[in-house]
Amino acid sequence: MDIQEFWGIRVREKAALAIRLAARPGGTTMGEIHSHSGQDQYEVFRRLKEIGHTVVKEGSGANCRIRLKHKDGKRFKDPEIKGLNGETKLHKTPGLIELRELELQKTLRRNLRRLERGLRVADCGKENNFRDITAVDAKGRQVVIELKAVKATKEVLAQILAYMGEIVVKDGLAKSKMRGIIVAPDFQDKTVYAAIMTPNVSLFRYTLAPLKFERLA
């Protein structure tokens, strides 16, 4: 891979991708970085912090969320990524096709009933404790919805189960009143197999133009 200059350091393509993900408004998780690049990239964030950029790390392991801000206050922009209004455009990055998760989240919030009849937003329209969307279904059960802009790996199951378990423990909610939904453009086979054995988690594959959802597990 080519070495490139990115935010004042020379990095390879996968490290540059990790920086781009962390520089989005909502940041990214180490699990997402690993699924996109196959490596953790903690070292690149340490180097960015050393030269003056702001690196905020919250949590640990795959759920550790990284937020990155340029030392000059520059707002991160990627002109190749388009919104979902009108013609849909996909952004090609090294080794993957990525739809910006923030745009997907906004679109899904407007179309929850197309995902599942009776679903309604329960988080006042914004992320809560890193959960992409928290909703309530037609039977009154809480639903954590996790969105992925690329093929979902088996690690996403651990991520959503942690979010669900946190609600159960902190809110004293019965397990039977808690569900999870993972929405992604595709899933690794092992992710599907694991979800089959996790009855309170559903997988939905989405396609765009028009927006459609297909339940896999």
Do 98 and 64 fall into the same domain? no
User: Do both 207 and 139 map to the same domain?
Assistant: yes
121 in the Ramachandran plot: left (φ > 0), alpha (ψ -120 to 50) or beta?
A: beta
Render pLDDT for 32-59 as a digit per residue (tens, 0 to 9).
Answer: 787 766 778 888 999 999 899 999 988 8
Condensed to tens digits (0 to 9), the pLDDT of residues 128-182 reads 777 889 999 999 999 999 988 778 888 899 999 999 999 999 999 999 999 999 9
In a domain, 76, yes or no: no
109 and 44 in a single domain? The answer is no
Q: What is the reported pLDDT for 4?
A: 66
- 78 lies in a domain? no
Is 86 among the domain residues? Answer: no
CA torsion 133→147→159→66, rounded to 10°?
A: -90
Sign of CA dihedral 43, 47, 49, 53: negative
Same domain, 110 and 40: no
Domain range for 61 is 4-69
Structural domain count of the chain = 2
95 and 166 co-located in one domain = yes
CATH number, domain with residue 131: 3.40.1350.10
Task: Kindly report, residue by residue over 74-124, the tens digit of the pLDDT.
Answer: 655 543 333 333 333 334 443 333 345 677 788 888 889 999 999 999 988
- pLDDT, position 162: 92
